[in-house]
């Protein structure tokens, strides 16, 4: 085999038997697949049967000559590249063949190695093309990976990690604030893995109290506890040979943590109230918005379990740290809601800028909600900042870990000032002269405030 990427299928059309056998043997020794035909009609039949990459074709052939074969092949839009074998002194044939779309010609008599060089040239060309296509694909794909959209460096790096961890079978933990896409990433990791045809089972650890969570995960035997009227399989059994996704894993109570650790180490467990040991093969992907290290430090989360879970960790950055992703996300969401609402809305540039000026404490989910609400409420075809404002209204809040009642007066006033600035800017479609007039401050003052609040674009 000459090149790992491209293994060409060759058709050799030659009526002279000695020539046919010598050439085909030689080409096969190079690791290429060679089919032979002894006249033009058989050659054409072969071409219709199979997608050849290269056709090496004599010109003088019985029944149908090489030139006709070439013409017919090109008419049926065959992708095959032709190398014509012309007799000495018939250079006119060669010219005609090239005009008809042959890639190359070789004059008889020739040394087989010379033919090999010509074949290799075509292969190299195809390998380059194939590489280019691959490259192009990977560049295009990088605006998004599966359903995950992200143009920022931070997201690009995450796509790379996801791609790698999908191929291996280790446990992964996904960290990030609420709405950053942890659930989405967990799903993609499963879909890209070799387990994709097996179940993806989700467990929301925060939704159930400890004892219920235990039976939800491991199942129970009939009569294991009050209310256990029949035997039930747990999620681990359902997820066998697939992926189990633990959402909000920080909320698992200690006794369930211990049982979980055993599954991770020994791949086995017993149902609640059961004796039988059940073996499973699952991959564990977990997610949390909490600081697990902190929970470990405070004794709320087992350190040994934590190390098992975080073999690989993916940290999804908050949206405000990758604002360049906003236009791409918005485009996708708008496309989705346009389809759903049977509308044809577009966004004005000012509207995009307005969307980019906001900090999104609720991250991508909040942005998605804002677009949905805006799309539903807007009557005109082009979305303007004031349309977004309607949707912003209920959301607007500068990012702060504190709840309103715990703010100092200064923090509260700052928050109100910032929100009001955003509102007025939106109302004036970003016109700073007009905004300054409404706010009763100088343009310079407005500019300074915009800078302080990171509202400058
Ligand atoms: N990069 C992204 N591209 C496209 N859609 C995204 C992206 N990130 C998040 N979303 C969408 O935003 C919404 C919230 O994402 P998801 O539920 O995965 O967040 P999460 O981190 O699991 O949040 P929570 O901690 O609240 O459960 C989903 O509808 C998801 O499809
Ligand atoms: Mg989630």
- pLDDT tens, 342-357? 999 999 888 888 888 7
**Ligand in nearest proximity to the CA of 364:** 1
β partners of residue 86: 107
Q: Which atom of ligand 1 is nearest to the CA of 180?
A: 21
Could you give the count of Cα atoms lying within 13 Å of 359 in the half-sphere of its Cβ?
Answer: 14
User: Which range in 94-103, 154-163, 423-432 is most confidently predicted, on average pLDDT?
Assistant: 154-163
Atom of ligand 1 nearest to the CA of 332: 4
Residue 94 has pLDDT above 90, yes or no: no
Q: Name the residue at shortest CA distance from atom 7 of ligand 1.
A: 181
208, pLDDT greater than 90 = no
The highest-level CATH class for domain 9-137 is alpha beta
User: Of 178-192, 240-254, 440-454, which gets the smallest average pLDDT?
Assistant: 440-454
Atom of ligand 1 nearest to the CA of 187: 18
Q: Provide the angle, in degrees to the nearest 10, between the axes of the packed helices 349-356 and 385-392.
A: 30
Q: Is the pLDDT of residue 451 over 90?
A: no
For residue 181 and ligand 1, the question of a CB distance below 6 A is answered with yes
User: Domain boundaries in the chain?
Assistant: 9-137, 144-315, 321-452
Specify the pLDDT at position 396.
47
Q: Among 145, 286, 314, 365, which is best to mutate for testing ligand 1, by the most ligand atoms less than 8 A from CB?
A: 365
Same fold, 9-137 and 144-315: yes
Report how far ligand 2's centroid is from the alpha carbon of 178 (Å): 7
pLDDT at 142 over 60: no
* Domain covering 321-452, topology: Helicase, Ruva Protein; domain 3 (1.10.8)
Hey, which of 156, 364, 371 would you mutate to test ligand 1's pocket, going by the most ligand atoms within 8 Å of its Cβ?
364
* Ligand 1, atom nearest to 186 Cα: 18
How does pLDDT run across 388-437, given as a tens digit for each residue? 876 664 544 443 445 566 777 877 788 788 888 888 887 787 788 999 99
3-state secondary structure labels for all residues of the chain: CCCCCCCCEEEEECCCHHHHHHHHHHHHHCCCEEEEECCHHHHHHHHHHCCCCEEEEECCCCCCCHHHHHHHHHHCCCCCEEEEEECCCCHHHHHHHHHCCCCEEEECCCCHHHHHHHHHHHHHHHHHHHHHHHHHHHHHHCCEECCEECCCHHHHHHHHHHHHHHHCCCCEEEECCCCCCHHHHHHHHHHCCCCCCCCEEEEECCCCCHHHHHHHHHEECCCCCCCCCCCEECHHHHCCCCEEEEECHHHCCHHHHHHHHHHHHHCEEECECCCCEEECCCEEEEEECCCHHHHHHCCCCCHHHHHHHCCEEEECCCHHHCHHHHHHHHHHHHHHHHHHHCCCCEECHHHHHHHHCCCCCCHHHHHHHHHHHHHHHCCCCEECHHHHHHHHCCCCCCCCCCCHHHCCHHHHHHHHHHHHHHHHHHHCCCCHHHHHHHHCCCHHHHHHHHHHCCCCC
What's the chain's average pLDDT? 86
Distances (CA, A) of 22 to 12, 19, 403, 418, 438: 11, 5, 85, 83, 90
Give the Å distances, CA to CA, from 222 to 182, 279, 355, 448. 36, 20, 55, 69
Burial of 416 (0-12, 13-18, 19+ CB in 10 A): exposed
Give the separation between CA 83 and CA 90, rounded to whole angstroms. Answer: 15
Q: Are 256 and 214 in contact (CB under 8 A)?
A: yes
Enter the pTM of the model.
Answer: 0.62
Neighbours of 418 (CB within 10 A): 20
The answer on pLDDT for 219 being more than 80 is: yes
Q: Which of 179, 188, 318 to mutate to test the pocket of ligand 1 (most atoms within 8 A of CB)?
A: 179
Q: 128 C-alpha vs ligand 2 centroid, how far in Å?
A: 43
Report the distance separating Cα 367 and Cα 329, nearest Å.
Answer: 8
Ligand 1 lined by 242 (C-beta under 6 Å): no
Distance of CA 151 from the midpoint of ligand 1 (Å):
16
User: What is the fold of 144-315?
Assistant: Rossmann fold (3.40.50)
- For 19-57, the pLDDT digits (tens) are 999 999 999 998 889 999 999 999 999 998 888 889 999
- Is the CB of 180 within 6 Å of ligand 1? yes
């Amino acid at each position: 085999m000459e090149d790992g990427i491209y293994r060409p299928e060759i058709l050799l059309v030659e009526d002279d038997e000695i020539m046919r056998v010598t050439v085909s043997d030689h080409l096969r020794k190079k690791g290429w697949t060679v089919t032979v035909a002894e006249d033009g009609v058989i050659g054409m039949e072969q071409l219709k049967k199979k997608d050849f990459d290269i056709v090496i074709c004599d010109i003088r052939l019985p029944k149908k000559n090489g030139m006709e074969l070439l013409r017919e092949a090109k008419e049926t839009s065959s992708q095959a590249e032709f190398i014509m074998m012309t007799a000495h002194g018939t250079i006119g044939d060669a010219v005609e063949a090239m005009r008809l779309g042959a890639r190359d010609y070789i004059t008889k008599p020739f040394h087989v190695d010379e033919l090999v060089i010509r074949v290799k040239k075509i292969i190299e060309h195809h390998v380059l093309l194939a590489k280019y296509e691959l490259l192009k694909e990977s560049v295009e794909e990088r605006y998004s990976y599966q359903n995950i959209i992200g143009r920022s460096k931070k997201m690009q790096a995450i796509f790379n990690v996801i791609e790698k961890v999908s191929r291996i079978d280790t446990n992964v933990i996904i960290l990030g604030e609420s709405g950053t896409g942890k659930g989405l990433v967990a799903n993609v990791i499963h879909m890209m893995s070799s387990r994709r045809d097996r179940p993806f089972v989700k467990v929301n650890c925060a939704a159930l109290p400890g004892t219920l969570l235990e039976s939800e995960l491991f199942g129970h035997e009939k009569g294991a506890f009050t209310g256990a009227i029949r035997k039930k399989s747990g999620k681990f059994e359902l997820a066998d040979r697939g992926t189990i996704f633990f959402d909000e894993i920080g909320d698992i109570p200690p006794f369930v943590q211990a049982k979980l650790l055993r599954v991770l180490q020994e791949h086995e467990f017993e149902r609640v109230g059961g004796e039988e040991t059940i073996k499973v093969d699952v991959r564990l992907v977990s997610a949390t918005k909490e600081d697990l290290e902190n929970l470990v430090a405070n004794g709320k989360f087992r350190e040994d379990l934590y190390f098992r879970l975080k073999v690989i960790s993916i940290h999804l950055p908050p949206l405000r740290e990758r604002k360049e992703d906003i236009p791409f996300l918005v485009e996708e969401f708008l496309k989705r809601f346009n389809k759903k609402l049977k509308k044809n809305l577009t966004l004005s540039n000012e509207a995009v800028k307005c969307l980019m000026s906001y900090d999104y404490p609720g991250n991508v989910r909040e942005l998605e909600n804002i677009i949905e609400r805006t799309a539903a409420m807007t009557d005109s075809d082009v979305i303007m900042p004031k349309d977004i404002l309607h949707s912003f209204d209920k959301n607007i809040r500068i990012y702060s870990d504190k709840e309103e009642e715990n703010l100092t007066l200064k923090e509260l006033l700052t928050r109100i000032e910032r929100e009001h600035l955003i509102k007025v800017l939106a109302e004036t479609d970003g016109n700073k002269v007009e905004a300054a007039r409404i706010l009763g401050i100088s343009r310079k003052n407005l500019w300074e405030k915009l800078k302080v609040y990171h509202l400058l674009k």
